[in-house]
Structure 1
Amino acid sequence: MDDSLSLEPWAEGDFWLLLRKNEPVMTAHLGGPESDAKLQDRQARYLALSAREPAAGRMFRVVADGESVGSIGFWERVWNGEEVYETGWGILPEFQGRGLAARAARALVAHAREHGTRRHLHAFPSVDHGASNAVCRAAGFVLLGETRFEYPPGHWHASNDWRAALV
């Protein structure tokens, strides 16, 4: 194993990864699996996001040792009156527990710092999602506290607000 990790821009052929990430084990903290129509819409949004200027955000396929292992991305939003970026990720079950999500998150922070225009990148994992909170900690995010967060639309839950400085 050469221990390499890269972020590859989301492409038309990456829909299979959305299908894998839609499995119940991957969506337990995200409101459950989405319909086929919602997955098609998500694919279109990911492609559109990756076609815009890098400062607007980007979706990536996470590649470790030449193998696609998950996805990560960032996008624009307003949070508590500040224009920020939000991030989210998912590493396929067979690749979890190897530190890949934290490495991908650190790479994403570096990318957003280089190409972005906003001061902060936030992540909002559920308070009971230990693995995603550990990723934030390992990637150097600072825990700002607990908040109520809506995701997916109409589904409010207790989340932690983690922030990484980009400037």
Structure 2
Amino acid sequence: MDSLDERTGVGGERVSLVPWTERDLWLLRRLNSPEMTEHLGGPESEEQLLVRHRRYVEPAPGRMYRVTLADGGETVGSVGFWQRTWRDTGIWETGWGVLPEFQGRGLAVRAARAVREAARAAGSHRYLHAFPSVGHAASNAVCRGAGFTLLGQVDFEYPKGHWIRSNDWRVDLERED
């Protein structure tokens, strides 16, 4: 699959999801700023970024994407979904980041809707979850806008060894929205 387009959002910009490649390390570095990782425990070291990049490139259950504007192809951020065990059940988890200069335009909501459809198409798991920090208003708004249901607050470990209070948002991938 070359890319996925999010075509919903009347009057808004469309986004495309382009599978992550070796050439996308620059984006991971841009998203690793103190501003962008404030709710995630802060920036990662270069070594940690290289390990993350390798995970994004290698085939695995799930997929990471570079988010681009559908008209023009300009890169605006990243989104993806990956497998995890949550409460003794296999699920898909999702996360995203939109570069500061593109924030406030609804692009993260469109990317989250598109990745929801990619996770649905991948099968394997009934649910897609997102776990933004309870204090991260923008990411919680993305979950609402992308059709996730708030299940409540949970203690969540991210990154490893760093516990945060998160909201548990979920989409039932077996239901059509």
TM-score (norm 1): 0.94
**Structure-1 residue corresponding to 2:62:** 57
Kindly state the Cα deviation for residue 142 of structure 1 after the two structures are TM-superposed.
Answer: 0.2
Equivalent-residue separation in structure 2 for 1:105 and 1:82 (angstroms): 22
Unaligned runs of 5+ residues in structure 2 are: 1-11
**Structure-2 residue corresponding to 1:31:** 41
**Structure-1 residue corresponding to 2:13:** 3
Confirm or deny: 8 A CA contact 1:75 1:86 kept in the other structure. yes
2:131 to 124, 136, 141: 124
Equivalent-residue separation in structure 2 for 1:123 and 1:4 (angstroms): 22
Equivalent-residue separation in structure 1 for 2:109 and 2:36 (angstroms): 17
Equivalent-residue separation in structure 1 for 2:145 and 2:31 (angstroms): 22
Kindly state the Cα deviation for residue 81 of structure 1 after the two structures are TM-superposed.
Answer: 1.3
Over the matched positions of the two proteins, sequence identity in percent amounts to 61
Confirm or deny: 8 A CA contact 1:57 1:116 kept in the other structure. no
Equivalent-residue separation in structure 2 for 1:116 and 1:70 (angstroms): 25
1:74 to 81, 95, 107: 81
Moved over 6 A (4+): none
Q: How does 1:1-167 map to 2 (within 5 A)?
A: 3-48=13-58, 51-52=59-60, 56-64=61-69, 65=71, 66-167=73-174
Equivalent-residue separation in structure 2 for 1:30 and 1:3 (angstroms): 27
Size of the aligned set, in residue pairs, is 162
Equivalent-residue separation in structure 1 for 2:88 and 2:37 (angstroms): 29
Equivalent-residue separation in structure 2 for 1:61 and 1:135 (angstroms): 17
Kindly state the Cα deviation for residue 4 of structure 1 after the two structures are TM-superposed.
Answer: 2.8
**Structure-1 residue corresponding to 2:6:** none
